[in-house]
Chains A and B, each alone.
Chain A
């Protein structure tokens, strides 16, 4: 079966130049990630700063080449595609609606860019498709002549979604699409994304640090930590029965509006993850409340069981 996205053992390094002595740190932002995403699913990727989820998003979009490993879209290698073909397969929706639209272009041109870049349809037909898509995301036709500066955050994000969908791609990579929006607007945009997925049969890769949002929209969730996926499971299972200590800590840290409870102590201590300095053994062990002595020296294996994945020495394989 051909999956919509297949990521095989992908690594991505960055050279970080230190200002003074010219020392170069190698930062391994993505450290061997492998997963496949069936068509029509939504994979939510969660994790905190420095975990590599944004870099992973760009790798999957083809905006960055992997240092090693490969990305397959619909069974075909992403690096082998030319820019037009790739554009037809996979499109992004970014986090910041204020920087994801060119402030010097009108809405119509912004949404029409992917069509213009393909260059295989007459202008009139392109214009029609643009208006069609704008209507679908709830932007009235009179707004098509306006500039992004005249639109609100929520409206801009709708425009960004229209742009992403105008080529009818197979896959949409959403990188924190609601994080920069007002709380009242977030729900609207999420609902729009969910609706469009059903209508158009899309596959989403949904990056977010907001677990509530992910629970709402994802079918499967992968938890990233310092460049690797440490746990992956269908959404309800992950939230109900998390296995990896990091996942548990993450879920426990989310503050629900219950006045009877206080601020939880999730046992992570005061240390924080530093991608330039990945600990030996299990990368989570310095912060893990359940760490054993061997966690500092032994890399945990990937344990797959019942459609779930976890990378922890404490998880007992079947």
Chain B
């Protein structure tokens, strides 16, 4: 009973990840279709970055991920060996991180880092890879790409570095791009440019985009679907139009903003925790909230995780 996405590029069902005694991700289900942008939103600590890393199998050593299924273009990712996953990473599945300063290796030039990906996955020559790199740098709006290829990360400003990261992720024409807060550190005009570029790529190449952000403006303008996370779970999901029009979960404030100014902090969920992770902050919590919470449908593809009926706000106002 979750939104059905036909032929998804990425399909995640009931993903669970624990760090020691804490459950970071507790049953996340989502899907991203071809050419679609699916935004993953939530406060810091809700598990969205861990979800992204789990998909790419980039979790720290020793951290296990389990799921009912985790598929990329129909292929099972869970059972894949590290070698097979490495072949997909950077090629068909790419990821952009928030801090370009720590994601780019300061000891190598931009050109060598970008071409390495292409040479490795496509068996291209250095010259071919450099040409492709220059082409992509131009595409992300970097002038004099030839010169930039020979520069080191520290010689570029933050905005340029982020563009380089995006260009690098696109080197092998990925089918899925996971972007973890890619524009948060950027100026607002640069953000608009980058997002427009990503949209163009989706239209031209059918790129599927899983976009993690806390900026609701980005979600509203950019995404087709959105999943709101809290304490390791998806508390509300649906198309952007549906969720913004009628945010239902008690954690969403009236304007569709998840967990606006409600006092308290996102809790750490210990192993074996049952029930709603929001109940300590919820004004409508009842004893039943300590048991498994049902996934309810608020119409169409709009689902949320709460015992309350979809029209509870109207009932409460009356």
Contacts and interface: CB of A to CB of B under 8 A. Distances in A.
A257 B217 contact: yes
Nearest to B219: A257
Given A48-B189, A257-B255, A259-B221, A183 B141 contact: no
B43 A270 contact: no
Interface stretch (B68-76, B155-163, B284-292): B155-163
A184 B256 contact: no
A255 interface: yes
Q: Which secondary structure dominates where chain A touches chain B? A: loop
A166 to B, nearest CB: 27
A209 B188 contact: yes
Contacts of B141: 270-272
A142 interface: no
B59 interface: no
Contacts of A182: 43-44
A254 B218 CA distance: 9
Q: How large is the interface on A (under 10, 10 to 19, 20 to 34, 35 or more residues)?
A: 20 to 34
A180 to B, nearest CB: 11
A249 B189 contact: yes
Interface string A142-160: 0000000000100000000
B171 to A, nearest CB: 19
A258 B221 CA distance: 7
A259 B241 CA distance: 6
A50 B157 contact: yes
B43 A259 contact: no
- Listed residue (A188, A209, A270) with the most chain B CB atoms within 10 angstroms of its CB: A270
Contact of B189 (A152, A184, A257, A268): A268
Interface of A: 48-50, 152, 182-184, 187-188, 209, 211, 249-250, 253-259, 261-266, 268, 270-272
15 contacts: A152-B265, A182-B44, A183-B214, A184-B261, A253-B189, A255-B220, A257-B255, A258-B220, A259-B221, A259-B241, A263-B195, A263-B196, A263-B199, A265-B192, A271-B143
Interface of B: 43-44, 141-143, 157-160, 187-193, 195-196, 199, 214-222, 240-241, 244, 255-257, 259-262, 265
